[in-house]
Chains A and B, each alone.
Chain A
Protein backbone atom coordinates (compact mmCIF):
# COMPACT_ATOMS: atom_id res chain seq x y z
CA UNK A 1 0.00 0.00 0.00
CA UNK A 2 1.28 3.46 -0.81
CA UNK A 3 1.86 5.68 2.24
CA UNK A 4 -0.78 8.20 1.18
CA UNK A 5 -4.09 7.59 -0.62
CA UNK A 6 -3.70 7.42 -4.39
CA UNK A 7 -4.49 10.50 -6.40
CA UNK A 8 -7.69 9.59 -8.21
CA UNK A 9 -7.18 12.25 -10.83
CA UNK A 10 -3.82 10.78 -11.79
CA UNK A 11 -5.52 7.41 -12.15
CA UNK A 12 -8.28 8.86 -14.30
CA UNK A 13 -5.72 10.64 -16.44
CA UNK A 14 -3.72 7.42 -16.83
CA UNK A 15 -6.89 5.61 -17.94
CA UNK A 16 -7.61 8.40 -20.44
CA UNK A 17 -4.04 8.12 -21.76
CA UNK A 18 -4.47 4.35 -22.11
CA UNK A 19 -7.70 4.82 -24.08
CA UNK A 20 -6.00 7.34 -26.37
CA UNK A 21 -3.07 4.93 -26.79
CA UNK A 22 -5.48 2.22 -27.86
CA UNK A 23 -6.92 4.61 -30.46
CA UNK A 24 -3.34 5.28 -31.54
CA UNK A 25 -2.81 1.54 -32.03
CA UNK A 26 -5.90 1.46 -34.25
CA UNK A 27 -4.60 4.46 -36.23
CA UNK A 28 -1.21 2.80 -36.66
CA UNK A 29 -2.78 -0.45 -37.83
CA UNK A 30 -4.87 1.53 -40.32
CA UNK A 31 -1.70 3.03 -41.80
CA UNK A 32 -0.22 -0.40 -42.46
CA UNK A 33 -3.44 -1.98 -43.73
CA UNK A 34 -4.14 0.92 -46.07
CA UNK A 35 -0.59 0.73 -47.43
CA UNK A 36 -0.12 4.36 -46.45
CA UNK A 37 3.17 4.09 -44.57
CA UNK A 38 5.01 6.22 -47.10
CA UNK A 39 2.17 8.53 -48.07
CA UNK A 40 4.11 11.25 -46.28
CA UNK A 41 7.73 11.09 -47.45
CA UNK A 42 9.26 13.40 -44.86
CA UNK A 43 9.54 13.39 -41.06
CA UNK A 44 9.02 14.89 -38.49
CA UNK A 45 6.96 17.37 -40.53
CA UNK A 46 4.48 16.19 -43.15
CA UNK A 47 5.25 17.75 -46.52
CA UNK A 48 7.16 20.37 -44.55
CA UNK A 49 4.00 21.33 -42.70
CA UNK A 50 1.93 20.51 -39.65
CA UNK A 51 -1.24 20.66 -41.71
CA UNK A 52 -0.79 18.87 -45.04
CA UNK A 53 -3.83 18.22 -47.27
CA UNK A 54 -5.53 15.16 -45.78
CA UNK A 55 -6.02 13.34 -49.09
CA UNK A 56 -5.39 9.72 -50.04
CA UNK A 57 -2.93 7.92 -47.79
CA UNK A 58 -1.92 11.21 -46.13
CA UNK A 59 -5.14 11.03 -44.10
CA UNK A 60 -3.99 7.81 -42.44
CA UNK A 61 -0.30 8.61 -42.06
CA UNK A 62 -0.61 12.21 -40.89
CA UNK A 63 -3.66 11.32 -38.78
CA UNK A 64 -1.53 8.68 -37.07
CA UNK A 65 1.21 11.24 -36.46
CA UNK A 66 -1.24 13.73 -34.94
CA UNK A 67 -2.73 11.17 -32.57
CA UNK A 68 0.80 10.00 -31.68
CA UNK A 69 1.82 13.57 -30.88
CA UNK A 70 -1.23 13.92 -28.65
CA UNK A 71 -0.47 10.66 -26.84
CA UNK A 72 3.15 11.77 -26.45
CA UNK A 73 1.93 14.98 -24.85
CA UNK A 74 -0.41 13.03 -22.55
CA UNK A 75 2.40 10.73 -21.47
CA UNK A 76 4.64 13.72 -20.64
CA UNK A 77 1.86 15.28 -18.56
CA UNK A 78 1.28 11.93 -16.84
CA UNK A 79 4.98 11.53 -16.04
CA UNK A 80 5.29 15.08 -14.67
CA UNK A 81 2.12 14.61 -12.63
CA UNK A 82 3.39 11.31 -11.21
CA UNK A 83 6.73 12.92 -10.42
CA UNK A 84 4.99 15.66 -8.45
CA UNK A 85 2.37 13.69 -6.51
CA UNK A 86 3.33 10.02 -6.51
CA UNK A 87 5.13 8.85 -3.38
CA UNK A 88 6.26 5.53 -4.92
CA UNK A 89 9.62 6.20 -6.48
CA UNK A 90 9.49 3.21 -8.83
CA UNK A 91 6.17 4.40 -10.20
CA UNK A 92 7.58 7.87 -10.84
CA UNK A 93 10.36 6.24 -12.83
CA UNK A 94 7.85 4.07 -14.69
CA UNK A 95 6.14 7.28 -15.82
CA UNK A 96 9.51 8.58 -17.00
CA UNK A 97 10.14 5.29 -18.81
CA UNK A 98 6.82 5.71 -20.61
CA UNK A 99 8.00 9.08 -21.90
CA UNK A 100 11.25 7.49 -23.03
CA UNK A 101 9.28 4.77 -24.80
CA UNK A 102 7.02 7.23 -26.60
CA UNK A 103 10.03 9.28 -27.72
CA UNK A 104 11.75 6.11 -28.94
CA UNK A 105 8.55 5.15 -30.67
CA UNK A 106 8.43 8.47 -32.50
CA UNK A 107 12.04 8.05 -33.62
CA UNK A 108 11.35 4.52 -34.88
CA UNK A 109 8.32 5.85 -36.76
CA UNK A 110 10.50 8.50 -38.36
CA UNK A 111 13.22 6.00 -39.27
CA UNK A 112 10.74 3.66 -40.89
CA UNK A 113 9.53 6.51 -43.12
CA UNK A 114 12.98 7.89 -43.96
CA UNK A 115 14.37 4.43 -44.79
CA UNK A 116 11.29 3.27 -46.77
CA UNK A 117 9.76 0.83 -44.29
CA UNK A 118 12.63 -1.54 -43.49
CA UNK A 119 10.80 -4.57 -42.05
CA UNK A 120 12.91 -4.77 -38.88
CA UNK A 121 12.37 -1.08 -38.02
CA UNK A 122 8.66 -1.20 -38.87
CA UNK A 123 8.26 -4.36 -36.76
CA UNK A 124 10.17 -2.77 -33.88
CA UNK A 125 7.86 0.26 -34.16
CA UNK A 126 4.84 -2.05 -33.90
CA UNK A 127 6.31 -4.00 -30.97
CA UNK A 128 7.30 -0.92 -28.97
CA UNK A 129 3.76 0.40 -29.47
CA UNK A 130 2.45 -2.67 -27.65
CA UNK A 131 5.00 -2.29 -24.87
CA UNK A 132 4.09 1.37 -24.44
CA UNK A 133 0.38 0.55 -24.30
CA UNK A 134 1.03 -2.02 -21.58
CA UNK A 135 3.21 0.45 -19.64
CA UNK A 136 0.45 3.06 -19.61
CA UNK A 137 -2.12 0.42 -18.62
CA UNK A 138 0.17 -0.71 -15.80
CA UNK A 139 0.44 2.86 -14.54
CA UNK A 140 -3.34 3.09 -14.63
CA UNK A 141 -3.51 -0.10 -12.54
CA UNK A 142 -0.83 1.00 -10.06
CA UNK A 143 -2.58 4.34 -9.48
CA UNK A 144 -6.02 2.79 -9.10
CA UNK A 145 -7.85 2.67 -5.76
CA UNK A 146 -8.14 -1.10 -6.27
CA UNK A 147 -4.37 -1.52 -6.28
CA UNK A 148 -4.16 0.54 -3.11
CA UNK A 149 -6.81 -1.53 -1.34
CA UNK A 150 -5.77 -4.95 -2.61
CA UNK A 151 -4.37 -7.47 -0.13
CA UNK A 152 -3.29 -11.07 -0.42
CA UNK A 153 -6.39 -13.10 -1.15
CA UNK A 154 -4.95 -16.49 -1.88
CA UNK A 155 -1.79 -18.51 -1.98
CA UNK A 156 -0.66 -20.68 -4.82
CA UNK A 157 0.81 -24.07 -4.09
CA UNK A 158 0.48 -25.33 -7.67
CA UNK A 159 3.34 -25.94 -10.04
CA UNK A 160 4.25 -23.96 -11.94
CA UNK A 161 3.11 -21.07 -9.77
CA UNK A 162 0.57 -18.83 -11.47
CA UNK A 163 2.99 -15.88 -11.35
CA UNK A 164 5.48 -17.72 -13.53
CA UNK A 165 2.76 -19.08 -15.78
CA UNK A 166 1.33 -15.61 -16.32
CA UNK A 167 4.75 -14.09 -16.92
CA UNK A 168 5.56 -16.81 -19.47
CA UNK A 169 2.25 -16.08 -21.21
CA UNK A 170 3.11 -12.38 -21.37
CA UNK A 171 6.51 -13.17 -22.89
CA UNK A 172 5.04 -15.59 -25.44
CA UNK A 173 2.27 -13.16 -26.37
CA UNK A 174 4.75 -10.34 -26.84
CA UNK A 175 6.93 -12.52 -29.09
CA UNK A 176 3.79 -13.51 -30.99
CA UNK A 177 2.90 -9.85 -31.56
CA UNK A 178 6.41 -9.26 -32.90
CA UNK A 179 5.98 -12.24 -35.24
CA UNK A 180 2.63 -10.84 -36.38
CA UNK A 181 4.14 -7.41 -36.99
CA UNK A 182 7.04 -8.98 -38.89
CA UNK A 183 4.55 -10.83 -41.09
CA UNK A 184 2.56 -7.67 -41.73
CA UNK A 185 5.75 -5.82 -42.62
CA UNK A 186 6.92 -8.66 -44.87
CA UNK A 187 9.99 -9.60 -42.82
CA UNK A 188 8.99 -13.24 -43.19
CA UNK A 189 6.04 -15.49 -43.89
CA UNK A 190 3.03 -16.62 -41.92
CA UNK A 191 4.46 -19.87 -40.50
CA UNK A 192 6.30 -18.35 -37.48
CA UNK A 193 3.15 -16.36 -36.62
CA UNK A 194 1.02 -19.53 -36.81
CA UNK A 195 3.49 -21.40 -34.61
CA UNK A 196 3.42 -18.51 -32.15
CA UNK A 197 -0.39 -18.60 -32.14
CA UNK A 198 -0.29 -22.28 -31.17
CA UNK A 199 2.14 -21.62 -28.30
CA UNK A 200 0.16 -18.65 -26.98
CA UNK A 201 -3.12 -20.54 -27.22
CA UNK A 202 -1.74 -23.46 -25.22
CA UNK A 203 -0.24 -21.16 -22.59
CA UNK A 204 -3.44 -19.16 -22.24
CA UNK A 205 -5.52 -22.31 -21.86
CA UNK A 206 -3.11 -23.67 -19.23
CA UNK A 207 -3.10 -20.32 -17.39
CA UNK A 208 -6.88 -19.98 -17.54
CA UNK A 209 -7.29 -23.54 -16.29
CA UNK A 210 -4.91 -22.89 -13.39
CA UNK A 211 -6.81 -19.74 -12.45
CA UNK A 212 -10.15 -21.53 -12.61
CA UNK A 213 -9.01 -24.53 -10.58
CA UNK A 214 -6.76 -22.91 -8.02
CA UNK A 215 -8.67 -19.69 -7.38
CA UNK A 216 -12.33 -20.56 -7.77
CA UNK A 217 -13.09 -18.44 -4.71
CA UNK A 218 -11.39 -15.30 -6.02
CA UNK A 219 -13.83 -13.63 -8.41
CA UNK A 220 -11.31 -11.35 -10.11
CA UNK A 221 -9.10 -14.31 -11.08
CA UNK A 222 -12.06 -16.49 -12.01
CA UNK A 223 -13.33 -13.72 -14.28
CA UNK A 224 -9.84 -13.22 -15.68
CA UNK A 225 -9.91 -16.86 -16.73
CA UNK A 226 -13.13 -16.24 -18.67
CA UNK A 227 -11.75 -13.08 -20.28
CA UNK A 228 -8.63 -14.93 -21.41
CA UNK A 229 -10.69 -17.72 -22.95
CA UNK A 230 -12.93 -15.23 -24.74
CA UNK A 231 -10.07 -13.09 -26.03
CA UNK A 232 -7.99 -15.95 -27.38
CA UNK A 233 -11.06 -17.50 -29.02
CA UNK A 234 -12.01 -14.22 -30.70
CA UNK A 235 -8.40 -13.59 -31.69
CA UNK A 236 -8.03 -17.01 -33.33
CA UNK A 237 -11.23 -16.45 -35.31
CA UNK A 238 -10.08 -12.97 -36.29
CA UNK A 239 -6.71 -14.35 -37.35
CA UNK A 240 -8.37 -16.84 -39.67
CA UNK A 241 -10.69 -14.16 -41.02
CA UNK A 242 -7.81 -11.73 -41.56
CA UNK A 243 -5.90 -14.38 -43.51
CA UNK A 244 -8.95 -15.17 -45.63
CA UNK A 245 -9.45 -11.46 -46.33
CA UNK A 246 -5.85 -11.11 -47.52
CA UNK A 247 -6.27 -13.97 -49.95
CA UNK A 248 -9.64 -12.63 -51.10
CA UNK A 249 -8.29 -9.10 -51.51
CA UNK A 250 -5.18 -10.12 -53.46
CA UNK A 251 -6.63 -9.51 -56.96
CA UNK A 252 -8.06 -6.13 -56.03
CA UNK A 253 -6.16 -3.02 -57.12
CA UNK A 254 -6.12 -1.52 -53.64
CA UNK A 255 -6.71 -2.46 -49.99
CA UNK A 256 -10.40 -3.24 -49.66
CA UNK A 257 -12.50 -2.43 -46.58
CA UNK A 258 -13.05 -6.05 -45.53
CA UNK A 259 -9.30 -6.72 -45.47
CA UNK A 260 -8.50 -3.43 -43.74
CA UNK A 261 -11.18 -3.95 -41.10
CA UNK A 262 -10.32 -7.55 -40.28
CA UNK A 263 -6.55 -7.04 -40.13
CA UNK A 264 -6.89 -3.92 -37.99
CA UNK A 265 -9.29 -5.60 -35.57
CA UNK A 266 -7.01 -8.65 -35.40
CA UNK A 267 -4.00 -6.42 -34.69
CA UNK A 268 -5.62 -4.44 -31.89
CA UNK A 269 -7.24 -7.52 -30.38
CA UNK A 270 -3.71 -8.88 -30.16
CA UNK A 271 -2.84 -5.79 -28.16
CA UNK A 272 -5.78 -6.51 -25.85
CA UNK A 273 -4.60 -10.10 -25.35
CA UNK A 274 -1.14 -8.86 -24.37
CA UNK A 275 -2.58 -6.15 -22.14
CA UNK A 276 -4.87 -8.61 -20.37
CA UNK A 277 -1.99 -11.00 -19.66
CA UNK A 278 0.20 -8.15 -18.39
CA UNK A 279 -2.53 -6.86 -16.07
CA UNK A 280 -3.28 -10.38 -14.90
CA UNK A 281 0.38 -10.95 -14.09
CA UNK A 282 0.49 -7.77 -12.02
CA UNK A 283 -2.76 -8.64 -10.26
CA UNK A 284 -1.42 -12.10 -9.42
CA UNK A 285 1.67 -10.55 -7.89
CA UNK A 286 -0.56 -8.26 -5.86
CA UNK A 287 -3.12 -10.69 -4.46
CA UNK A 288 -1.67 -14.19 -4.78
CA UNK A 289 1.03 -15.31 -2.40
CA UNK A 290 3.50 -17.90 -3.60
CA UNK A 291 3.31 -20.86 -1.25
CA UNK A 292 7.01 -20.70 -0.49
CA UNK A 293 6.74 -17.02 0.29
CA UNK A 294 3.89 -17.73 2.70
CA UNK A 295 5.90 -20.32 4.57
CA UNK A 296 8.84 -17.95 4.78
CA UNK A 297 6.54 -15.24 6.07
CA UNK A 298 5.18 -17.63 8.69
CA UNK A 299 8.68 -18.56 9.76
CA UNK A 300 9.61 -14.90 10.11
CA UNK A 301 6.51 -13.90 12.08
CA UNK A 302 6.11 -17.08 14.06
CA UNK A 303 2.35 -16.88 13.48
CA UNK A 304 0.36 -18.85 10.96
CA UNK A 305 -1.55 -16.75 8.45
CA UNK A 306 -4.40 -17.95 6.29
CA UNK A 307 -5.22 -16.43 2.99
CA UNK A 308 -8.52 -14.68 2.92
CA UNK A 309 -10.98 -15.23 0.12
CA UNK A 310 -12.54 -11.86 -0.10
CA UNK A 311 -14.52 -10.77 -3.11
CA UNK A 312 -13.11 -8.01 -5.25
Chain B
Protein backbone atom coordinates (compact mmCIF):
# COMPACT_ATOMS: atom_id res chain seq x y z
CA UNK B 1 0.00 0.00 0.00
CA UNK B 2 2.90 2.31 0.82
CA UNK B 3 4.41 1.50 -2.54
CA UNK B 4 1.11 2.34 -4.21
CA UNK B 5 1.00 5.59 -2.30
CA UNK B 6 4.49 6.55 -3.29
CA UNK B 7 3.66 5.63 -6.87
CA UNK B 8 0.70 7.99 -6.64
CA UNK B 9 2.99 10.68 -5.30
CA UNK B 10 5.31 10.11 -8.22
CA UNK B 11 2.49 10.61 -10.69
CA UNK B 12 1.52 13.86 -9.00
CA UNK B 13 5.12 15.02 -9.18
CA UNK B 14 5.07 14.37 -12.92
CA UNK B 15 2.24 16.89 -13.20
CA UNK B 16 4.04 19.44 -11.10
CA UNK B 17 7.29 19.25 -13.05
CA UNK B 18 5.69 20.44 -16.24
CA UNK B 19 3.35 22.91 -14.60
CA UNK B 20 4.88 26.00 -16.14
CA UNK B 21 3.23 28.96 -17.76
CA UNK B 22 2.42 27.88 -21.30
CA UNK B 23 1.18 29.54 -24.49
CA UNK B 24 -2.42 28.79 -25.45
CA UNK B 25 -1.72 27.29 -28.84
CA UNK B 26 0.14 24.01 -29.18
CA UNK B 27 -0.03 23.80 -32.97
CA UNK B 28 3.14 25.40 -34.40
CA UNK B 29 1.28 26.13 -37.67
CA UNK B 30 -1.53 27.92 -35.86
CA UNK B 31 -2.35 31.43 -37.06
CA UNK B 32 -4.23 34.32 -35.49
CA UNK B 33 -7.96 34.36 -36.16
CA UNK B 34 -9.20 36.45 -39.12
CA UNK B 35 -11.53 38.95 -37.38
CA UNK B 36 -13.45 39.62 -40.60
CA UNK B 37 -14.96 36.11 -40.49
CA UNK B 38 -15.54 35.89 -36.75
CA UNK B 39 -19.00 35.73 -35.28
CA UNK B 40 -20.53 35.45 -31.84
CA UNK B 41 -22.57 33.06 -29.74
CA UNK B 42 -24.61 34.54 -26.95
CA UNK B 43 -27.59 33.69 -24.82
CA UNK B 44 -28.97 33.15 -21.34
CA UNK B 45 -28.88 30.45 -18.73
CA UNK B 46 -31.98 29.89 -16.66
CA UNK B 47 -33.16 27.60 -13.92
CA UNK B 48 -36.66 26.14 -14.14
CA UNK B 49 -38.54 24.79 -11.18
CA UNK B 50 -38.31 25.42 -7.47
CA UNK B 51 -34.76 26.40 -6.56
CA UNK B 52 -33.09 24.30 -3.88
CA UNK B 53 -33.09 25.55 -0.32
CA UNK B 54 -29.96 27.49 0.53
CA UNK B 55 -28.29 26.10 3.65
CA UNK B 56 -26.72 28.52 6.06
CA UNK B 57 -23.08 28.22 7.02
CA UNK B 58 -22.33 27.61 10.67
CA UNK B 59 -19.25 29.67 11.48
CA UNK B 60 -19.69 29.37 15.24
CA UNK B 61 -16.56 27.25 15.56
CA UNK B 62 -14.47 30.13 14.20
CA UNK B 63 -15.59 33.33 15.98
CA UNK B 64 -13.31 35.51 13.84
CA UNK B 65 -15.31 34.48 10.79
CA UNK B 66 -18.71 34.53 12.50
CA UNK B 67 -18.18 38.14 13.62
CA UNK B 68 -17.83 39.25 10.00
CA UNK B 69 -21.49 38.48 9.28
CA UNK B 70 -24.54 40.08 10.90
CA UNK B 71 -26.58 36.99 10.00
CA UNK B 72 -25.26 33.55 9.03
CA UNK B 73 -24.46 33.56 5.30
CA UNK B 74 -25.72 30.89 2.92
CA UNK B 75 -23.62 28.66 0.70
CA UNK B 76 -24.26 30.76 -2.40
CA UNK B 77 -23.93 27.90 -4.86
CA UNK B 78 -27.27 28.69 -6.54
CA UNK B 79 -27.65 32.41 -7.22
CA UNK B 80 -30.71 33.46 -9.16
CA UNK B 81 -31.63 36.71 -10.88
CA UNK B 82 -34.92 37.76 -12.44
CA UNK B 83 -36.93 35.13 -14.31
CA UNK B 84 -34.75 32.30 -13.09
CA UNK B 85 -31.53 33.76 -14.50
CA UNK B 86 -28.75 31.53 -13.19
CA UNK B 87 -25.49 33.09 -12.08
CA UNK B 88 -22.04 31.47 -11.89
CA UNK B 89 -22.51 29.12 -14.84
CA UNK B 90 -19.35 28.59 -16.90
CA UNK B 91 -20.38 28.60 -20.57
CA UNK B 92 -17.68 27.57 -23.02
CA UNK B 93 -17.12 26.20 -26.49
CA UNK B 94 -15.71 22.81 -27.39
CA UNK B 95 -14.42 22.40 -30.92
CA UNK B 96 -11.30 22.36 -33.04
CA UNK B 97 -9.39 25.54 -32.32
CA UNK B 98 -6.04 24.08 -33.32
CA UNK B 99 -5.73 26.19 -36.53
CA UNK B 100 -5.79 29.35 -34.43
CA UNK B 101 -3.29 30.89 -32.08
CA UNK B 102 -4.45 32.90 -29.12
CA UNK B 103 -2.53 35.25 -26.89
CA UNK B 104 -2.92 34.53 -23.19
CA UNK B 105 -4.90 37.10 -21.28
CA UNK B 106 -2.37 39.08 -19.29
CA UNK B 107 -4.98 40.53 -16.94
CA UNK B 108 -4.92 38.47 -13.74
CA UNK B 109 -8.13 36.89 -12.52
CA UNK B 110 -8.76 37.68 -8.88
CA UNK B 111 -10.45 35.82 -6.04
CA UNK B 112 -10.71 37.49 -2.66
CA UNK B 113 -11.27 35.85 0.71
CA UNK B 114 -13.75 38.10 2.43
CA UNK B 115 -15.88 37.24 5.41
CA UNK B 116 -14.37 33.72 5.24
CA UNK B 117 -15.99 33.26 1.83
CA UNK B 118 -14.52 33.28 -1.66
CA UNK B 119 -15.55 36.27 -3.77
CA UNK B 120 -16.36 35.55 -6.53
CA UNK B 121 -17.25 31.92 -6.10
CA UNK B 122 -16.70 30.92 -9.74
CA UNK B 123 -14.01 32.23 -12.09
CA UNK B 124 -12.68 31.15 -15.48
CA UNK B 125 -9.36 31.86 -17.09
CA UNK B 126 -6.99 30.64 -19.78
CA UNK B 127 -3.87 28.59 -19.26
CA UNK B 128 -1.06 31.01 -18.59
CA UNK B 129 -3.29 33.68 -17.07
CA UNK B 130 -2.40 34.57 -13.52
CA UNK B 131 -4.83 33.73 -10.73
CA UNK B 132 -4.43 36.11 -7.80
CA UNK B 133 -5.92 35.02 -4.48
CA UNK B 134 -6.16 37.79 -1.89
CA UNK B 135 -6.92 37.62 1.79
CA UNK B 136 -8.90 40.65 2.95
CA UNK B 137 -9.97 38.89 6.15
CA UNK B 138 -8.70 39.26 9.65
CA UNK B 139 -8.38 35.46 9.64
CA UNK B 140 -5.68 33.17 8.31
CA UNK B 141 -6.69 31.08 5.30
CA UNK B 142 -5.09 28.50 3.12
CA UNK B 143 -5.79 27.89 -0.53
CA UNK B 144 -5.89 24.34 -1.78
CA UNK B 145 -7.09 23.53 -5.30
CA UNK B 146 -8.31 19.96 -5.78
CA UNK B 147 -6.82 19.51 -9.22
CA UNK B 148 -6.85 16.53 -11.55
CA UNK B 149 -4.79 17.79 -14.48
CA UNK B 150 -2.88 20.64 -12.87
CA UNK B 151 -0.46 21.15 -10.06
CA UNK B 152 -1.98 20.98 -6.60
CA UNK B 153 -0.83 23.27 -3.81
CA UNK B 154 -1.74 23.99 -0.22
CA UNK B 155 -0.58 27.44 0.78
CA UNK B 156 -1.29 29.41 3.90
CA UNK B 157 -2.21 33.06 3.78
CA UNK B 158 -1.78 34.87 7.05
CA UNK B 159 -3.69 38.05 7.83
CA UNK B 160 -2.39 40.89 5.68
CA UNK B 161 -0.13 38.69 3.57
CA UNK B 162 0.48 39.28 -0.12
CA UNK B 163 -1.77 37.74 -2.75
CA UNK B 164 -0.98 34.20 -3.86
CA UNK B 165 -0.23 34.13 -7.59
CA UNK B 166 -0.60 30.87 -9.48
CA UNK B 167 -0.86 29.71 -13.09
CA UNK B 168 -2.59 26.64 -14.46
CA UNK B 169 -0.92 24.88 -17.37
CA UNK B 170 -3.72 22.56 -18.53
CA UNK B 171 -7.42 22.96 -19.28
CA UNK B 172 -9.65 21.69 -16.49
CA UNK B 173 -13.35 22.26 -15.79
CA UNK B 174 -13.63 22.95 -12.98
CA UNK B 175 -11.05 22.94 -10.19
CA UNK B 176 -12.53 23.13 -6.72
CA UNK B 177 -10.67 25.56 -4.49
CA UNK B 178 -10.86 24.82 -0.77
CA UNK B 179 -9.70 26.42 2.43
CA UNK B 180 -8.80 23.54 4.74
CA UNK B 181 -9.06 25.79 7.79
CA UNK B 182 -12.67 26.69 7.05
CA UNK B 183 -14.37 23.71 5.41
CA UNK B 184 -17.34 25.69 4.09
CA UNK B 185 -15.10 27.84 1.87
CA UNK B 186 -15.39 26.65 -1.72
CA UNK B 187 -14.72 28.28 -5.07
CA UNK B 188 -14.39 26.88 -8.57
CA UNK B 189 -11.81 27.72 -11.21
CA UNK B 190 -12.37 26.72 -14.84
CA UNK B 191 -9.27 26.67 -17.04
CA UNK B 192 -9.31 26.75 -20.85
CA UNK B 193 -6.81 26.59 -23.68
CA UNK B 194 -8.85 29.07 -25.75
CA UNK B 195 -10.64 32.32 -25.01
CA UNK B 196 -14.21 31.15 -25.71
CA UNK B 197 -15.73 30.99 -22.25
CA UNK B 198 -17.62 33.20 -19.83
CA UNK B 199 -19.11 33.00 -16.36
CA UNK B 200 -22.71 34.17 -16.27
CA UNK B 201 -23.52 37.21 -14.19
CA UNK B 202 -26.66 38.19 -12.29
CA UNK B 203 -28.76 38.30 -15.46
CA UNK B 204 -27.64 34.82 -16.52
CA UNK B 205 -26.31 36.10 -19.83
CA UNK B 206 -23.17 35.17 -21.71
CA UNK B 207 -21.59 36.39 -24.91
CA UNK B 208 -18.72 34.67 -26.67
CA UNK B 209 -17.22 36.97 -29.29
CA UNK B 210 -14.66 36.68 -32.08
CA UNK B 211 -15.54 33.04 -32.62
CA UNK B 212 -14.26 31.53 -35.88
CA UNK B 213 -16.96 29.99 -38.12
CA UNK B 214 -17.55 26.31 -37.52
CA UNK B 215 -19.56 23.78 -35.56
CA UNK B 216 -19.15 23.82 -31.79
CA UNK B 217 -20.52 22.23 -28.71
CA UNK B 218 -21.71 24.95 -26.37
CA UNK B 219 -21.21 23.54 -22.90
CA UNK B 220 -22.53 24.96 -19.67
CA UNK B 221 -21.14 23.86 -16.31
CA UNK B 222 -22.71 24.62 -12.96
CA UNK B 223 -21.30 23.35 -9.68
CA UNK B 224 -24.65 22.02 -8.52
CA UNK B 225 -26.57 21.25 -11.69
CA UNK B 226 -23.70 19.79 -13.70
CA UNK B 227 -23.01 19.98 -17.41
CA UNK B 228 -25.34 20.50 -20.34
CA UNK B 229 -24.44 20.74 -24.03
CA UNK B 230 -25.86 22.11 -27.26
CA UNK B 231 -24.44 21.94 -30.77
CA UNK B 232 -24.23 25.21 -32.68
CA UNK B 233 -23.03 25.87 -36.22
CA UNK B 234 -21.72 29.38 -36.67
CA UNK B 235 -21.58 30.87 -40.15
CA UNK B 236 -18.93 33.47 -41.05
CA UNK B 237 -19.77 36.70 -39.16
CA UNK B 238 -22.81 34.89 -37.81
CA UNK B 239 -24.54 35.76 -34.53
CA UNK B 240 -26.11 32.77 -32.87
CA UNK B 241 -28.36 33.14 -29.86
CA UNK B 242 -29.15 30.18 -27.65
CA UNK B 243 -30.96 29.50 -24.44
CA UNK B 244 -29.69 27.07 -21.83
CA UNK B 245 -32.09 25.73 -19.24
CA UNK B 246 -31.38 23.69 -16.13
CA UNK B 247 -34.08 21.86 -14.24
CA UNK B 248 -34.05 22.56 -10.51
CA UNK B 249 -34.49 18.89 -9.65
CA UNK B 250 -31.20 18.01 -11.33
CA UNK B 251 -29.15 19.29 -8.39
Contact = CB atoms under 8 A, between A and B. Distances in A.
A97 interface: no
B181 interface: yes
A47 interface: yes
B182 A56 contact: yes
B55 A116 contact: no
A118 B8 CA distance: 7
Contacts of A168: none
A121 B5 contact: yes
B55 A115 contact: no
Nearest to A108: B2
Given A37-B180, A41-B142, A41-B154, A120 B55 contact: no
A272 interface: no
Nearest to B154: A41
A47 B142 CA distance: 11
B5 A118 contact: yes
A254 B64 contact: no
Most buried by B among A41, A56, A123, A256: A56
Interface string B1-30: 110111111001000000000000000000
Interface in A157-207: 178
Interface string B116-158: 0000000000000000000000011010100000001011100
A219 to B, nearest CB: 39
Given A41-B142, A118-B9, A121-B9, A251 B55 contact: yes
A253 B55 contact: yes
A172 B140 CA distance: 44
Given A36-B180, A55-B139, A119-B8, A41 B155 contact: yes
B12 A39 contact: no
Given A120-B1, A253-B57, A254-B58, A39 B9 contact: no
Contacts of B7: 120
A253 B1 CA distance: 32
Given A56-B62, A121-B8, A252-B55, A35 B180 contact: yes
Nearest to B57: A253
A178 B1 CA distance: 10
Interface residues of B, number: 31
A116 B75 contact: no
B154 A116 contact: yes
B52 interface: yes
A57 B1 CA distance: 27
A55 B2 contact: no
B180 A57 contact: yes
A159 B5 CA distance: 39
Nearest to B179: A56
B88 interface: no
Contacts of A121: 2, 5-6, 8-9
A254 B140 contact: no
Nearest to A182: B1
B70 interface: no
A89 to B, nearest CB: 28
B5 A111 contact: yes
B183 interface: yes
A119 B1 CA distance: 10
B225 interface: no
Contacts of A178: 1
B100 interface: no
B250 interface: no
Interface string A107-139: 010010001101111011001000000000000
B139 A34 contact: no
Contacts of A57: 180-183
16 contacts: A36-B180, A39-B180, A56-B181, A111-B6, A118-B5, A118-B8, A119-B5, A119-B8, A120-B5, A121-B5, A121-B6, A123-B5, A124-B5, A251-B55, A253-B55, A253-B57
Interface of B: 1-2, 4-9, 12, 52, 55, 57-58, 61-62, 64, 75, 139-140, 142, 144, 152, 154-156, 180-184, 186
Q: Which 5 A-B pairs have the closest CB atoms?
A: A121-B5, A56-B181, A120-B5, A254-B184, A120-B4
Given A39-B180, A115-B9, A121-B2, 16 more contacts: A39-B142, A41-B154, A41-B155, A41-B156, A57-B180, A108-B2, A111-B9, A116-B152, A118-B5, A118-B8, A118-B9, A121-B6, A123-B1, A251-B55, A253-B75, A255-B183
